[in-house]
C-alpha cells in the first residue's frame, strides 16, 4: 500500500501596549490611561505556499501502481506520471529539476532508510533524495507494514473456511476474520500498526534532520470500504461477512489515526484522504469509485487508487499545502 495540523508560524501583528504582563492593563493603583482596552487579537500571517525542491516518498498508493503512463526507474516501483505527487508538482509549477518522486510500490517504512529490491531493479533508500535545499516533502506509507494486502487475502480465506464449516454443520462465526486476528484482547494487526508508527516517527525525525527547512506532509490512505458494509454486496458478493467488512474499516481507521498522531508529534501536517473519498470506495459504481475492487478494471491494480483517486489525493494535498 501503499497519508491536519499546520506548520504555519504565527507572527504577532499589531500588538498594543496593553498586551504585556501587567494583569490585563491595570497598574498597582487601578486602570491607567490607554491601558484598559483589550489587546488586539494577533493576526496570523499566511504561510507562503512552498515551492521546490519537492521530494515525494511513499508506497504504491503514492507511486500510482499500474496507472498509465508509467515512468521512472527502477521500473519495478511502478510509478505513474499522473500520480498525486506529479499532479501536485505540476500544479505548483515545479519543473523536473525541482521535483523528485522516489516512491515505490511495495515499500515499507524500512525502505525509507534502506534500499528496496523490486522485480525491475533496486530503489535506493528514499530518504537519500532529501537535501538541505528541499522545501516540500510528502510521505505516504505504512499500509505494507501492517500487511493490509495479506489481511484482505486472509479475510477472504477465513470467510471461505467458515462457509464450509457451515455446510458441514460445524457452526459459523459472525466475523471469522476478526476471530483470526483478535484473540485474548490482542489485535495482531494493530500491533503491526503500532510498530510501524515507531519506525515512522524515527523516519520523520530523520527527514527533519536532512531537510530542516522543508514543510512535511504525511498523506493518509483513502477509504477502501463504505460506512455501510451492505453497499459492498453488489461488488464483493457474500464472500465477506458484513461484520468483517466493518472490522477492516476499523483497522484502516486505526492506521490513519497512527499516521495522524505521528505526523502531529513530529510537527508535520497530516493530509486526510479518507474523508474526501467517502462514497468513492471500491464498492462504489465504476463511474464513482476512486479505489479499484478486487477484480479491477482492465490494466489497473486491485484495491488501489485509479487515476481519479490519484487526482483526488492530489487535491487533498494541494488544499493542505495551500492551507
List the one residue out of 244, 238, 240, 245 whose CA is nearest residue 224: 245
Q: How far apart are CA 82 and CA 95, in angstroms?
A: 15
- Choose, from 80, 86, 173, 304, the residue flagged as catalytic: 304
Average pLDDT over residues 87-100: 95
Instruction: Judge whether residue 31 has pLDDT over 60.
Output: no
Using CB atoms within 10 A of its CB, is residue 96 exposed (0-12), middle (13-18) or buried (19+)? exposed
Segment 132-149, tens digit of pLDDT? 999 999 999 999 998 877
SS3 content of the chain, % helix, strand, coil (to 5): 40, 15, 50
Average pLDDT over residues 164-173: 61
Instruction: Judge whether residue 323 has pLDDT over 70.
Output: yes
pLDDT of residue 36: 47
Instruction: Say which range, 8-22, 68-82, 86-100, has the weakest mean pLDDT.
Output: 8-22
Query: Is 60 annotated in the active site?
Result: yes
pLDDT of residue 25: 33
Q: How far apart are CA 214 and CA 83, in angstroms?
A: 21
Banded pLDDT at 14 (limits 50, 70, 90): very low
Between 72 and 12, whose confidence is greater?
72
Helices 148-167, 242-265: crossing angle, 10 deg rounding: 160
Between 166 and 272, whose confidence is greater?
272
Cα→Cα distances 74→55, 96, 102, 118, 296, Å: 17, 17, 10, 8, 25
- Choose, from 60, 175, 211, 277, the residue flagged as catalytic: 60
Banded pLDDT at 28 (limits 50, 70, 90): very low
Segment 182-198, tens digit of pLDDT? 988 899 999 999 999 99
Instruction: Judge whether residue 203 has pLDDT over 90.
Output: yes
Instruction: Judge whether residue 152 has pLDDT over 60.
Output: yes
Banded pLDDT at 158 (limits 50, 70, 90): confident
Segment 39-79, tens digit of pLDDT? 555 555 566 777 789 999 999 999 999 999 999 999 999 99
Long-range contacts of 170-175 (CB under 8 A, 24+ apart): 173/241, 174/241, 174/243, 175/241, 175/243, 175/244, 175/247
Cα→Cα distances 94→42, 80, 88, 214, 320, Å: 33, 17, 9, 15, 17
pLDDT of residue 172: 59
* Alpha-carbon torsion (295, 300, 302, 305), positive or negative: negative
Average pLDDT over residues 233-244: 79
* Domains recognised in the chain with CATH numbers: 50-322 (3.40.50.1110)
Between 104 and 150, whose confidence is greater?
104
Instruction: Say which range, 20-34, 161-175, 234-248, 253-267, has the weakest mean pLDDT.
Output: 20-34
276 Cβ neighbours under 8 A, 6+ residues apart = 222, 312, 315, 316
DSSP label at residue 52: S
Banded pLDDT at 19 (limits 50, 70, 90): very low
Query: Is 175 annotated in the active site?
Result: no
By percentage, how much of the chain surpasses pLDDT 70?
Answer: 81
Amino acid at each position: 500500500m501503499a497519508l491536519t495540523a499546520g506548520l504555519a508560524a504565527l507572527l504577532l501583528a499589531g500588538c498594543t501596549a496593553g498586551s504585556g504582563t501587567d494583569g490585563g492593563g491595570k497598574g498597582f493603583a487601578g486602570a491607567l490611561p490607554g491601558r484598559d482596552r483589550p489587546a488586539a487579537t494577533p493576526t496570523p500571517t499566511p504561510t507562503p505556499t512552498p515551492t521546490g525542491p519537492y521530494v515525494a516518498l511513499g508506497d504504491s498508493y503514492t507511486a500510482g501502481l499500474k496507472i498509465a503512463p508509467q515512468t521512472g526507474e527502477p521500473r519495478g516501483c511502478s510509478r505513474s506520471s499522473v500520480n498525486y505527487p506529479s499532479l501536485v508538482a505540476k500544479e505548483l509549477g515545479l519543473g523536473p529539476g525541482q521535483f523528485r518522486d522516489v516512491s515505490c510500490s511495495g515499500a515499507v517504512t524500512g525502505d525509507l532508510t534502506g534500499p528496496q529490491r523490486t522485480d525491475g531493479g533496486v530503489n535506493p533508500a528514499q530518504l537519500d533524495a532529501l537535501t538541505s535545499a528541499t522545501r516540500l516533502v510528502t510521505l505516504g506509507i505504512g499500509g505494507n507494514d501492517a500487511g493490509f494486502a495479506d489481511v484482505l487475502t486472509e479475510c477472504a480465506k477465513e470467510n471461505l473456511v467458515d462457509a464450509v464449516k457451515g455446510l458441514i454443520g460445524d457452526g459459523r462465526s459472525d466475523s471469522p476474520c476478526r476471530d483470526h486476528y483478535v484473540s485474548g484482547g490482542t489485535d495482531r494487526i494493530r500491533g503491526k500498526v503500532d510498530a510501524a508508527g515507531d519506525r515512522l516517527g524515527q523516519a520523520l525525525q530523520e527527514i527533519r534532520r536532512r531537510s530542516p527547512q522543508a514543510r512535511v506532509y504525511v498523506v493518509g490512505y483513502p477509504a477502501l470500504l463504505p460506512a455501510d458494509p451492505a453497499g459492498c454486496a453488489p461488488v464483493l458478493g457474500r464472500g465477506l461477512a458484513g461484520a468483517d467488512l466493518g472490522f477492516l474499516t476499523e483497522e484502516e481507521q486505526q492506521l490513519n489515526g497512527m499516521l495522524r498522531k505521528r505526523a502531529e508529534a513530529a510537527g508535520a501536517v497530516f493530509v486526510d484522504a479518507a474523508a474526501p473519498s467517502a462514497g468513492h470506495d471500491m464498492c462504489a459504481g465504476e463511474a464513482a469509485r476512486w479505489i479499484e475492487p478486487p477484480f479491477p478494471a482492465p490494466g489497473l491494480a486491485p484495491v488501489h487508487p485509479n487515476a481519479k483517486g490519484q487526482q483526488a489525493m492530489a487535491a487533498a494535498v494541494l488544499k493542505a499545502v495551500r492551507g
